[in-house]
Amino acid sequence: MQTVNLSTESLRDVALEQGVCIRPVVQELHDTTTGHRRLVPIACGSTQERKCPPCAERNRKLRAQQCREGWHLEEEPDADDPEPEDDADDEPDSDDDNSDDDTGGTRRVRSTRRRQDAPDLPRLPVENRTIGRTFRAPNGKTWRPSMFATFTLPSYGRVNSDGTPIDPSRYNYRRAALDAMHFPKLLDRCWQNLRRAVGYQVQYFAAVEPQRRLAPHLHAALRGAIPRELVRQVVAGTYHQLWWPPFDEVIYPDHSLPEWVEGVGYVDPHLGVTLPTWDEALDDLDADPAAKPGHVVRFGKQLDLQGIVASSGDADRRVGYLTKYLTKSISEGYDEDTATPAQRAHLERLHQEVRWLPCSSRCWNWLRFGVQPQGVDAGMALGFCPNKAHDRDHLGCGGRRVLVSRKWTGKTLADHKADRATVVAEVLASAGIARPDIERYSATVEGPDGRPRYVWNPWRPGERTAPVYRQVLTHAIQERMRWRTQFERAKQRAGTGGGCSATSGGAPGDDG
């Protein structure tokens, strides 16, 4: 094999072609029994294609497996409420008028009366089940359909076919930014309302993606069939209110920033008066009977609902559609190379809004509006809050892109990954091939003296970054090609052909 003679760039291209991580974390493995040391590349595990396409694709396939496995279950998941990985659908049993403290602090309860401009919603006792109804045809055949839904945010102004505003001066960028930042809260409220309306624990696998206008929308696989009119009623009646101190007017622009005084906090640069703390600002809000929420997030009028049957090819197509854009960032709704000047201007204008607006009660940008955020400390710089919601890549959507309810499959994502690895190992074992497993080098393996046999240490390359990179990448490519060859031969011997659903077309190395 001649890859050792390739340049770093050419080697990287080969790695991409073979599905090998192109930015591995290099670790040194020391066998204390033999004294042998070697470098081991650990896949970076990125979910973003722009960072590492092979790792992003493996993560996408894993999510597709998770989606497919839970969508059309006919029996309740065999799990005792596993630890949630992706969603926070444990909202308290209250109406959305209650203020939500996103930092785990004291919850401030407000009026539980629903807004007069929101329709009332049905409310049923929620049964402890996640499986939808079974339908029986006149010929005796039964089936259990599910749903595919698309939720959108409202209009902020008319847009062209390329997603850019027809009149940027009238486009409501501020509302678009705030809606994007608090879209997850709206979704949490929607799932809660939907479960109350139908009377069972509706489960979902959902993915947040950008529309052409760069506003987030949600594609969701819902287990069970729910009357479309009822879903529309729930969506129309769902909202999330933001009970925050006023943030409409910038009190401290860039040239007149509050100053930090040790032991006191941030003070007005001219008057020397200490800025109110977050709790003090909320106390003022509570004391004002005429106070209104700082922002209300609602869904848009566009709502697409489709019935899906497990045995139809449409189900697999929808799984692919749900996970298709998970490897892209929100800002990649516009291609960096082909974006027009109008698209670039629209993206930058939206980024400026999400950069300077507050994202949470701990956001550094609260200083612009004369309030000290929770967790206040020295060094807070306006426009540089570390929450990724402010990033150009995220455009307000700083949370997870995949939202999965607790009882979708009864498994964690690590369980699904282990399932894929098990299928690969079984295929290899049927052909008498032992799959290489990095776990056998665990720190729990003891040597003859009773101490850990294997010790992992971070690799500190010093001046040898490029040579080491080529070395570990070459070895990873060689291993990948050898494993793939073994896997394909093993499938032929085992008579499995091309079918290996749990690996989704993968091969050894997809799961390690």
Of the chain, the percentage scoring pLDDT greater than 70 comes to 82
Report the 10 Å Cβ neighbour count for 102.
12
The stretch 247-262 carries a mean pLDDT of: 89
Q: How many angstroms separate the CA atoms of 238 and 261, rounded?
A: 43
* Interstrand relation of 25-31 and 454-458 (parallel, antiparallel or unpaired): antiparallel
How many angstroms separate the most distant Cα atoms in the chain? Answer: 82
Of the candidate ranges 138-152, 361-375, 395-409, the one whose mean pLDDT is the lowest: 138-152
Q: How many angstroms separate the CA atoms of 485 and 479, rounded?
A: 10
Q: What is the mean pLDDT of the chain?
A: 83
pLDDT for the residue numbered 4: 46
> Using 50, 70 and 90 to split pLDDT, how confident is the model at 440?
low
The stretch 258-285 carries a mean pLDDT of: 94
- The answer, yes or no, to whether residue 195 has pLDDT greater than 80, is yes
Most confident of 136-140, 205-209, 321-325: 205-209
Note the helical H segments in 199-297: 228-236, 278-287
To which H or E segment does residue 151 belong? Answer: strand 146-151
Which residue carries 């890859």 as its tokens? Answer: 3
For residues 104 and 92, the answer to whether their CB atoms sit within 8 Å is no
Note the helical H segments in 434-494: 465-494
Most confident of 20-24, 363-367, 453-457, 481-485: 363-367
SS3 193: helix
- The answer, yes or no, to whether residue 2 has pLDDT greater than 50, is no
Strands in 333-435 per DSSP E: 402-404
The stretch 136-141 carries a mean pLDDT of: 76
- The answer, yes or no, to whether residue 464 has pLDDT greater than 90, is no
Q: How many angstroms separate the CA atoms of 298 and 353, rounded?
A: 19
Burial class (CB in 10 A: 0-12, 13-18, 19+), 455: middle
Could you tell me which of 352, 356, 334 has the C-alpha nearest to residue 344? 334
> Using 50, 70 and 90 to split pLDDT, how confident is the model at 465?
low
pTM to 2 decimal places? 0.83
Q: How many angstroms separate the CA atoms of 297 and 181, rounded?
A: 10
How many H-runs (helices) and E-runs (strands) does the chain carry? 10, 14
The stretch 474-499 carries a mean pLDDT of: 74
> Using 50, 70 and 90 to split pLDDT, how confident is the model at 463?
very low
> Using 50, 70 and 90 to split pLDDT, how confident is the model at 133?
confident
- The more confidently predicted of residues 367 and 483 is 367
> Using 50, 70 and 90 to split pLDDT, how confident is the model at 505?
very low
Could you tell me which of 398, 379, 160, 393 has the C-alpha nearest to residue 265? 379
Torsion of Cα atoms, 251 then 253 then 256 then 259, to 10°: 70
